[in-house]
Each structure stands twice: as C-alpha cells, then as structure tokens.
Amino acid sequence: MKKQSLISLFLFSCAVAFAQSDKNVEQHQFTVNALLPGVVYEAGISDNATLTAELTFGFAYRESVFFEEGYGVYPIGRFQYRHYYNFDRRLRKGKRISGNTGNYLAPTLAFQSGRALFGNLDLAYNVAGGIGVVYGLQRTAPKGFQFRLEAGPAYYKDDFDQGLSIFLAAKLGWVIRKKRSN
C-alpha cells in the first residue's frame, strides 16, 4: 500500500509539472546546429527547467612522428537537465527569454563512439562516457539564430581509461519553432 501511494504521488507530481502552461521555458524546442552538425530537442518540464537530448558529431585530427596522420568524425549523444536560473532577472530588466534565452546549470551525461563515421582514425575504445555538471548560456535571436556556450567538470570512462576531464561546447544553430512574444 505504501509503495502504491508513493508511485501515485510521483505520477501526480509529474503530471502537474508537465501540465503547466505558463512556463518560462519553451514547451518544445528543436534546434539544428551548424558549427558541429547536430540536432537538439529541449522539452520544458517546469517553470525554469528542461530535459534536453542532443545528437551531434565531434571531429578529431592526429599528426605524430610515430603514427600516420589521421582524422575522424564521431557521433556523440548528450542528455541534460537544464535549470535556467536567471529568467526572472532578465524579465525584470526587459530582456527576452524566448527560445530559452538564459543562463543555466545542467547535470550532463554524454556518450561518444570511438569508431569514426568518416575518416581513417579509429580511437582505441569502442564507447566513451562522461558525467558532469556544466554552466551554460544560451541566446536565441527573434528570427531563430541561436548560440550556446557550456563548460564544466566531468568524469569520463572508456574501455581503457578513466578520470577527470572538462565538458566544453560551443554551438551555433537555428531554432525551428513558432515565435513567442517574450
């Protein structure tokens, strides 16, 4: 009985969070990135928070006296819970928040393949994963142009190694959406 009550309470609170219509964040936002090609889907889950899924590509180049030079393009998947913390301040100052224009903190989970989709540089591992927290800022122009910068500490692990690292991202792209007033 106690377990059923907890499950019911959890489902009810999720339904309330998803049912809010006066959120500061966009209900659904789809972005196409150009700098490193990829797509991002961002779903609003509360007033100032979103769940984000991203599929993008990374590039690596190696030149060494011991190995032949090589390059590769690798698929990368990322998942985030973004908490936008400065929407109220932006609104008080008369600034826009449309397109989730704001600063955020985001626990991040990322996976990268070690096998190149294009190129001749396969990495030593099959899959690498990382978990960390990033500080990010995202700005979306009225016509949909968007840029995003992120950085933060991470812990990574692959088939042969593990340790501390840094998540870095710089994205340029376009939001595919209807215009919003603020």
Closest among 156, 162, 143, 68 to 112, alpha carbons compared: 156
Q: Are 81 and 100 in contact (CB under 8 A)?
A: no
pLDDT at position 11 is 47
> Quick check: helix, strand or coil at residue 1?
coil
Q: Is 24-176 a CATH 2.60.120 domain?
A: no
Question: What per-residue string of b and e applies to 34-50 under the rule 16 or more CB within 10 Å gives b?
Answer: eebebebebbbbeebbb
CA dist 107 and 151 (Å) reads 11
pLDDT at position 95 is 92
pLDDT at position 180 is 54
Q: Are 25 and 44 in contact (CB under 8 A)?
A: yes
**pTM of the full predicted structure?**
0.78
Residue 62 clears pLDDT 60, i.e. is over it: yes
Where are the extended beta strands (E) located within the chain?
A: 28-33, 38-46, 49-62, 70-84, 102-113, 118-119, 127-140, 145-157, 162-176
Q: Write down the domain spans for the chain.
A: 24-176
Q: Are 170 and 136 in contact (CB under 8 A)?
A: no
pLDDT at position 55 is 96
Q: What is the pLDDT of residues 113-133, one digit of tens each?
A: 888 888 888 777 788 899 999
Q: Between 1 and 115, where is the model more confident?
A: 115
Backbone angles phi, psi at 18, to 5 degrees: -80, -20
Q: What is the pLDDT of residues 130-147, one digit of tens each?
A: 999 999 999 999 989 999
Band (pLDDT 50/70/90 cuts) for residue 41 is very high
